[in-house]
Amino acid sequence: MQEIQDLKSADEDSEKIMWLTEDEFEDLFYIIRKKPVKSRGVNPEEKYRRDRVIIYLLTYAGLRVDELSNLKLTDIDLVLKRIRIVGKGMKVRTVPISNTLMAEI
């Protein structure tokens, strides 16, 4: 037991996690709908729906930005409600799709 090291704990000052409240989450969607970034040839409503799903994937599936950018349609299994994710170091993991995320997808 003496050779077992203590678990590394987060430094409260340097690793504060900030969560969005439900109101802030809805405000985010309101802003991206009302003030869309202009894209040539892209329907603003389609862009809004795409951006909304991106935010839900990041939030409800816990994807990292890099994992999301490498996600393929074939990685999403709507029948079994799961997403295959290739993460850091090419490690593959599977995350379940919640009912909330499923409704958005």
The residues that bridge with 96 in the sheet, in sequence order, are 82
Q: What is the pLDDT of residue 69?
A: 92
Q: Is the dihedral of CA 45, 54, 60, 17 positive or negative?
A: negative
Largest CA distance in the chain: 65
Q: What is the pLDDT of residue 4?
A: 61
All structural domains of the chain, each given as residue ranges with its CATH number in brackets, are 22-104 (1.10.443.10)
Q: What is the pLDDT of residue 78?
A: 94
pLDDT tens track of the chain, all 105 residues? 566 666 555 555 556 666 788 899 899 999 888 887 777 788 888 889 999 999 999 989 989 999 999 999 999 999 999 999 988 888 999 999 999 999 998
